Amino acid sequence: MRIGILGGTGPAGSALGLRLASVGYEVVLGSRDPQRASSICADLARKWPNFELNLNGGDNHTAANCELIVIATPWDSAAAIVNDHTKELVGKIVVTMANALVRVGKEFQPLVPPRGSIAAHIQAEIRLSRVVAAFQHLPATELGNLTHEVDSDVLICSDDPTATAVICEMVAKIPGCRPLNAGTLSNALAIEAFTAVLLQLNVRYKTRVAPRLTGIPDRGDAG
C-alpha cells in the first residue's frame, strides 16, 4: 500500500513515514516544498542504511494521490490542507494525527476545535473520505528511532469500522505498538485532548511518555 503524508516534513510526519517505510510500506512525504521533502528522505536513507526504505519526497498533491493518506500538519492547517485536496481524497482512508494544543507558559493546554476534535472537523470537511484518528500520542523521537521499539498502545477511532480495521492492521506491524479500537470519531476529542496531559508529563518528568493501558489481555482487534 502506498501511503502519502501531507505535511510529511515535520518531526511527526517524517518519523511516522520512516517507521512505516521500515516495515515495508511505500511512503511519500508530502510538502509545500518537494525539494525539502526529497532532501529529508535522502537524509533518512543515509541515517538508516541497514533498512530498505521505500520513502520518497514530493509535493502534497503527490502524497494526496496515494492510496492511504496521513495528515501531519499543525492542527490549524489540517482542515485547509484537506480542502486543497478534496478530490484526491474521495473514498480514501485519511488518518489524522493532529492535536489542537496551545502552550501557555510552561503548560500544554487542549483546545476544543469545531465539532469537538480535529478528526471530526476534518471528517465534516471531506464527507466522502473515511477519516481515522490515530498516532496522536506517539512521540516523534521514539517513532523515528528505528533502533528501538515504540512501546505504546495506539488508540484508533473512526466512524468507518473497515477503516479502523485497516489502521489496526497497519499499527500492528510497527514493533512495540498495540492497536486499540477506541470507537467512533466522537472519542477523538478525548484522545486529542489527552495529548496535552502526556506532553505535560514529559515536561514534569523530563522524558517522553507514551500510553499503555492495562486490562486488555490480547492484542486490540479491529472489530
Ligand X SMILES: NC(=O)c1ccc[n+]([C@@H]2O[C@H](COP(=O)([O-])OP(=O)(O)OC[C@H]3O[C@@H](n4cnc5c(N)ncnc54)[C@H](OP(=O)(O)O)[C@@H]3O)[C@@H](O)[C@H]2O)c1
Binding site for ligand X (CB under 6 A): 7, 9-13, 31-33, 36, 72-75, 77, 81, 97-99, 135-136, 138-140
Least CB distance from residue 28 to ligand X, whole Å?
13
Residue 26 CA to residue 20 CA, distance in Å, equals 8
Least CB distance from residue 217 to ligand X, whole Å?
27
For 29, phi and psi rounded to 5 degrees? -85, 115
Least CB distance from residue 26 to ligand X, whole Å?
20
Q: Is 68 helix (H, G, I), strand (E, B) or coil?
A: strand
Residue nearer to ligand X on the CB measure, 30 or 220: 30
For 31, phi and psi rounded to 5 degrees? -155, 160
Cell numbers 498533491 label which residue?
A: 61
Residue nearer to ligand X on the CB measure, 31 or 123: 31
Pairing of strands 93-96, 26-31: unpaired
Residue nearer to ligand X on the CB measure, 36 or 219: 36
18: nearest Cα among 146, 169, 138: 146
Question: Minimal CB distance to ligand X: which residue?
Answer: 10
Residue nearer to ligand X on the CB measure, 9 or 65: 9
Least CB distance from residue 223 to ligand X, whole Å?
26
